Amino acid sequence: MSMEEVIKRHSETTYRAYAIGFTPSFAFLGNTPKELHVPRKTTPRLKVPIGSVALAENQTAVYPSVTPGGWQIIGRTPVQLVDWGSENLALIAMGDSVRFESHLKR
């Protein structure tokens, strides 16, 4: 499957936030379509950039801060998922529905 097809399919699905963890505002979103299930990387990256959209097994997520990570990166988002000055901190809460929009340059 081409990266364009991965992004298109990823953007067609509405995900649910099943858990928040790993780092503040890291929302574990599922369930990804079966054709997008991919394993975690064998060796994690030392630094995953803020806003990286990633897949691992049957989940997807956005890295809200620079951290190590072993998920497969499929894109980036400019949306800030964590507000360090806010009482709520996270943009996504457990149980929320999330839908991605593709902004592929053609």
| Domain total in the chain | 1
Give the range of the structural domain holding residue 27, as residue numbers without chain letter: 3-99
Nearest to 58 by CA among 25, 36, 75: 36
Tens-binned pLDDT, residue by residue, of the chain (106 aa): 999 999 999 999 999 999 998 888 899 999 999 999 999 999 999 999 999 999 999 999 999 999 999 999 999 999 988 888 888 788 899 999 999 998 766 5
Q: How far apart are the first and last CA of the chain?
A: 18
In a domain, 92, yes or no: yes
d(CA 65, CA 24): 8
| Stated pTM of the model | 0.90
In a domain, 56, yes or no: yes
